[in-house]
Structure 1
Amino acid sequence: MSFPEPSTFLRQLFDEAVAVADPMRVVPAALPPKPDGRIVVVGAGKASARMAEAVESVWGPCEGLVITRYGYRRPTAGIEIIEAAHPVPDQAGADATQRMLKLLGSTGAGDLVLALISGGGSALLTAPASDITLDEKQAVTEALLRSGAPIDRMNIVRKHLSEVKGGQLSAAAYPATVFSLLISDVPGDDPASIASGPTVGETSTSADARQILEEFKIDMPDSVTEHLSRETGVISPGAQELESTTNIVVAAPSKSLEAAARLARDRGVAVRILGDALEGEARELAATQVETARGIQAGMTVGEAPVLLLSGGECTVSGRDRGIGGPNAEFALAAAIALDGADGIHAIACDTDGVDGAAEVAGACISPSTLAKAKKLGADPAEALNTHDSHTFFARLGDQIVTGPTLTNVNDFRAFLIEPTRR
């Protein structure tokens, strides 16, 4: 092999996928020439503080306010960085959002608002509709997270319970020019879904939001039911308030997968990319990809180049009520069980933001020895999967991937390294 030990190689591929999405690499290249007039920088998301740092590395100190996750602060000279809670919003995020809206209200024609938006912004940029309390918004958010609802469906609900999402951030800045840079963490890279589209027009209705809550059996406070019985404040795509808004996606899952693929090919590995927008229950997606990996291996003979199977997107885990588990660790655990110690197949599954579910762990790596190691340590993989306790399982094995804050967020990264075993 022309690459290191498999688990080391897979970690290198993941690190490369994260590195090409670093705001310090992608934001400066996307900035227009610095205008002479007033500039106000706003933003929200796990990558937003790093994006603000990148802006000031080119333009120098700027006026502005950005909201990021606790622990994700970056050094900036002029832009104020405020930390708040994710994935469930808190009072710090709500207070900061009100300050941001007030700042935008001070802008006018001829001013430039630079919006820095990334995944995580849905929770961090929080302004509940006036007839809904923060406590009620938190309860609905927590229930949606437990339900396993896909992120695009969750974000439709979030928009219609908000006074800042679904184009309303841009509307607050009108008639100033809004130039929005986005780092995508959503399948398909739809700007309207990234952080619930604060600078993007919205086509869904309050009835759509109500239907989603009913579909996933979310208990709705009376205020939410009442609020969704009428049209909400989201801004339609053709509205005048959005005429001077430009949205540009500067980093996306597809670009990170391609970067990992290039590195693998440079090491003599054949690459197959399954897609960058795969969704579904983590354990079900794992079973499907294991079947694909086994099929590839069955057609290989010793001496052939290894094959790397890559995919991105966002898995879900339904009924997360007991253990400590995230979708990537659950994917890895389900894959290990499905592989059942099969020789020659290693895998990694990680969230590029370094946080898998609610745990400060990016994900996990598995090998043919995973189940044997678990048995020796007395860890039960089936029980861990049944109770959604995958992080505890991999912590016992020492096979967690822990990065700390990566300061970017381009969704999940999954890879199988497949080596031939048939002569």
Structure 2
Amino acid sequence: MADLDPRTFLTSIFDAAVAAADPEKVVRNFLPEKPKGRTVVVGAGKGAAQLARAFERAWDGPIEGVVVTRYGYAVPCERIRVLEAAHPVPDEAGLAAARALLDQVSGLTKDDLVVALVCGGGSALLPSPPEGLTLADEIAVNEALLASGAPISAMNAVRKHVSTIKGGRLAAAAAPARVVSLVVSDIPGDNPALVASGPTAPDGATREDAKKIVATYGMKLPPAVMAHLDSPAADAPSPADPRFASNEVHIIASAAVSLEAAVVAARKMDIEAVILSDAIEGEAREVGSVHAAIAREVATRNRPFSKPVLILSGGETTVTLRAKGKGGRNSEFLLSFGIGIDGIAGIHALAADTDGIDGSEDNAGAFADAGSVARMRAAGVDAKAMLAGNDAWTAFNAVGDLFIPGPTGTNVNDLRAILVR
């Protein structure tokens, strides 16, 4: 234990969690029955290209298709086209990609099979505004949602009602072909209808629900969007729609599986590990404060867990924007956590997005320990002021504590790993 380097250890835990969601390992377990007709692959998300490549390698019959991923996340595929678009703010390339996916599934028959490869990030990568709305309107909706502090379930209830591809509409467009969705879940609770706003997995949220969410969180949406939400044209397909009767949806990787892999990895290094939850939601800074309180209790009183111990959690927190600083939910969580453990020796933490990117910068998250706030102070950075200004990236960058693994090719939401020695 004495010679254990905390950051090396925490990085190995992150690597183990990501490996458990590796498309090359998990896709093979969910290959559908071959159809009489064509096999068409469509997909969207930050790990969609890796999923497409894994499916190509596992499938021994003819296939065709198209997937869209974030700029810089593409990998070469032989038979499936890989498109790139903007994330988290949609762009024209995403608009073209959404049209390409809809075109790919048009004109199919009941003998054809559509394999949908869906993972986190697909909502922003598939802008497809209904008639009367524009890309600018969808961007405005997206920005209002990201700034609102609403949980992902609420955000997606709104998104699917201002789209022609989300909320099961892509699967409806593929009818009468059978659609089998292979989903890498980045959603607390693993509801597939919420991953990438469910292009092939409808749910029961109505436009009345969407309007209540807009009102509850005080979102300022363009008048044209509000008019659309008042119209029956916004209604999304029901899960009971007969077009979905023969379809299948499979969660092939999730936060729960990755956290269990992290536990195994820790125990192999003789560190006991516990999972608080794989579905933690809430304001990132508040969740950070709670995790800090737990870590302090373990460090100072050896309860509720005996040290040494690795405390793990997953899920997706939210950030309500109060200023225009740099950062994401993991770095904001960790800055709050760092403030909460300031000066408490023996605590080391990593919070990171398993897709390799936290927010709009190139880091997945950051490291923090008992000396983080003091190092920031020595570098001329006020940690509490940075937290107040949503500027966690700047705070951790000033002391060289950003975690930058690069794109991982998968996405099962956030990993929070806290080592108490």
Fold similarity call, TM over 0.5: yes
User: Once the two structures are superposed, what CA deviation does each residue of 1:146-169 show, in whole Å capped at 9, x if it has no partner?
Assistant: 122111111100000011111111
Aligned-partner SS, 2:281: strand
Distance 2:335 2:323 in 1: 18
Which residue is equivalent to 1:76?
Answer: 77
Aligned-partner SS, 2:192: coil
Which residue is equivalent to 2:86?
Answer: 85
8 Å CA contact 1:268, 1:305 repeated in 2: no
Unaligned segments of structure 2, at least 5 residues: none
Distance 1:258 1:288 in 2: 22
Shift of 1:31: 1.2
Q: 2:410 aligns with which of 408, 411, 418?
A: 408
Once the two structures are aligned, what percentage of the paired residues are identical?
48
Distance 2:109 2:50 in 1: 27
Shift of 1:189: 0.4
Shift of 1:321: 2.9
Determine whether 1:206 maps to 2:207.
yes
Determine whether 1:369 maps to 2:371.
yes
8 Å CA contact 2:271, 2:310 repeated in 1: yes
Aligned-partner SS, 2:99: helix
Unaligned segments of structure 1, at least 5 residues: none
Distance 1:52 1:334 in 2: 38
Shift of 1:117: 0.4
Which residue is equivalent to 2:186?
Answer: 185
AA at the equivalent of 2:128? A
8 Å CA contact 1:34, 1:59 repeated in 2: no
1:224-303 → structure 2 map (5 Å cutoff): 224-231=225-232, 232-300=234-302
- The number of equivalent residue pairs is 417
AA at the equivalent of 1:69? R
Shift of 1:205: 1.0
8 Å CA contact 1:281, 1:315 repeated in 2: yes
Distance 2:32 2:245 in 1: 18
Distance 2:117 2:392 in 1: 33
AA at the equivalent of 1:114? V
CA 1:165/1:3 → structure 2, altered by over 3 Å: closer, same or farther? farther
Shift of 1:35: 4.1
Which residue is equivalent to 2:197?
Answer: 196
Which residue is equivalent to 1:223?
Answer: 224
Superposition CA RMSD, Å: 1.5
CA 1:3/1:52 → structure 2, altered by over 3 Å: closer, same or farther? farther
Aligned-partner SS, 1:64: strand
Distance 2:166 2:330 in 1: 28
Q: TM-score, normalised by structure 1?
A: 0.95
Aligned-partner SS, 2:193: coil
Distance 1:85 1:146 in 2: 18
Aligned-partner SS, 1:99: helix
Shift of 1:118: 0.4
CA 1:371/1:221 → structure 2, altered by over 3 Å: closer, same or farther? closer
AA at the equivalent of 1:87? P
Shift of 1:305: 5.0
User: Once the two structures are superposed, what CA deviation does each residue of 1:292-327 show, in whole Å capped at 9, x if it has no partner?
Assistant: 1122233339xx751111100111111253210111
Shift of 1:233: 3.9
Q: TM-score, normalised by structure 2?
A: 0.96
Shift of 1:270: 1.7
For structure 1, which segment, 176-185 or 233-242, has the greater mean C-alpha deviation from structure 2 after superposition? 233-242
